[in-house]
Amino acid sequence: MVPNNEDIFLPARRDREPSSSTGVTSPLEAHGSYRGADWSPERLVFHNNLETFAERVGLIVGLQSNGKLSQEQAYAEIRKLWKSLRASKGSLLKGKGSDTD
């Protein structure tokens, strides 16, 4: 199933251990921490959104490579994800010295 671009982006929870004894973590948890000098809660959320975007693009590319999606479908899904990421950047980082493109 292709990820829905209307999923809610949430910041990762850092106060929990992996969800099982096998070391598997939830896909909603960030892979790494945000270490920028200009830290803010909004930047942390955008960092998590960016990681989620990259992970989902990888899944879509895998589906396309294995013949589960056509190139056109994969492009359309990635474009939706990109628009969602760009919108989150605009709403989270506006007025903080970042460009919107």
Helix axes 41-65, 71-93, angle to 10 degrees: 180
> pTM higher than 0.85 for the full model?
no
CB-based contacts of 66-75 (< 8 A; 24+ apart in sequence):
69/2, 73/2
Higher confidence at residue 92 or residue 101? 92
Tokens matching residue 69 = 């999606």
Query: Count of domains in the chain?
Result: 1
User: pLDDT, tens digit, for every residue of 37-76?
Assistant: 778 889 989 999 999 999 999 999 999 999 999 999 999 9
**Residues whose CB is less than 8 angstroms from the CB of residue 38 and which lie 6 or more positions away in sequence, other chains included:** 96
User: pLDDT, tens digit, for every residue of 1-35?
Assistant: 444 444 444 444 444 444 555 666 555 555 566 67
Residue 14 lies in a domain: no
Residue 1 lies in a domain: no
Residue 59 lies in a domain: yes
Residue 32 lies in a domain: no
Containing structural domain, residue 71: 41-93
